[in-house]
Structure 1
Amino acid sequence: MIELVKAKLSDIPAMQALVAPEVKDGIILNRTEDEVATNIRSYVLAKDGEKLVGYTALHIHSRRLAEIRSLIVDEAYRGQNVGQRMVQFTLEEAKNIGVEEDVLVLTYLPQFFLKLNFKEIDKEVIPEHKIWADCIKCIHFPICNEVALVYKLA
Structure 2
Amino acid sequence: MITLVKANLTDIPAMQELVISEIKEGVILNRSEDEVATNIRSYVLAKEGEKLVGYTALHIHSRRVAEIRSLIVDEAYRGQKIGQALVRFAVEEAKALRVEEDVLVLTYQPAFFEKLGFSEINKEAIPEHKIWADCIKCIHFPVCNEVALVYKLL
TM-score, normalized by length of structure 2?
1.00
State the shift of 1:40 in Å: 0.1
Q: Which residue of 1 aligns with 2:123?
A: 123
Consecutive unaligned residues of structure 1, counting only runs of 5 or more, are none
State the shift of 1:85 in Å: 0.2
Is structure 2 residue 134 aligned with structure 1 residue 134? Answer: yes
State the shift of 1:104 in Å: 0.1
* Equivalent residue pairs, number: 154
- Alpha-carbon distance in structure 2 between the residues aligned to 1:48 and 1:143: 37
State the secondary structure of the residue aligned to 2:5. strand
Is structure 2 residue 71 aligned with structure 1 residue 33? Answer: no
Q: Tell me the alpha carbon deviations over residues 92-133 of structure 1, each in whole angstroms, 9 at most, x when there is no partner.
A: 000001100000000000010000010000001101100000
Q: Which residue of 1 aligns with 2:8?
A: 8
- Between the two proteins, what is the percent identity of the paired residues? 80
Q: Tell me the alpha carbon deviations over residues 34-71 of structure 1, each in whole angstroms, 9 at most, x when there is no partner.
A: 00000000000000001000000000000000000000
Is structure 2 residue 88 aligned with structure 1 residue 99? Answer: no
Is structure 2 residue 98 aligned with structure 1 residue 80? Answer: no
State the secondary structure of the residue aligned to 2:27. coil
State the secondary structure of the residue aligned to 1:130. helix
- Which of structure 1's runs of 4+ aligned residues deviate more than 3 A? none
Q: Which residue of 2 aligns with 1:18?
A: 18
Is structure 2 residue 151 aligned with structure 1 residue 146? Answer: no
TM-score, normalized by length of structure 1?
1.00
State the secondary structure of the residue aligned to 1:141. coil
Q: Output the amino acid matched with 1:5.
A: V
Q: Output the amino acid matched with 2:78.
A: R
- Alpha-carbon distance in structure 2 between the residues aligned to 1:141 and 1:22: 16
State the secondary structure of the residue aligned to 2:52. strand
- Alpha-carbon distance in structure 1 between the residues aligned to 2:4 and 2:125: 32
State the shift of 1:149 in Å: 0.1
Summarize the alignment of residues 51-70 of structure 1 with structure 2, pairs less than 5 Å apart.
Answer: 51-70=51-70
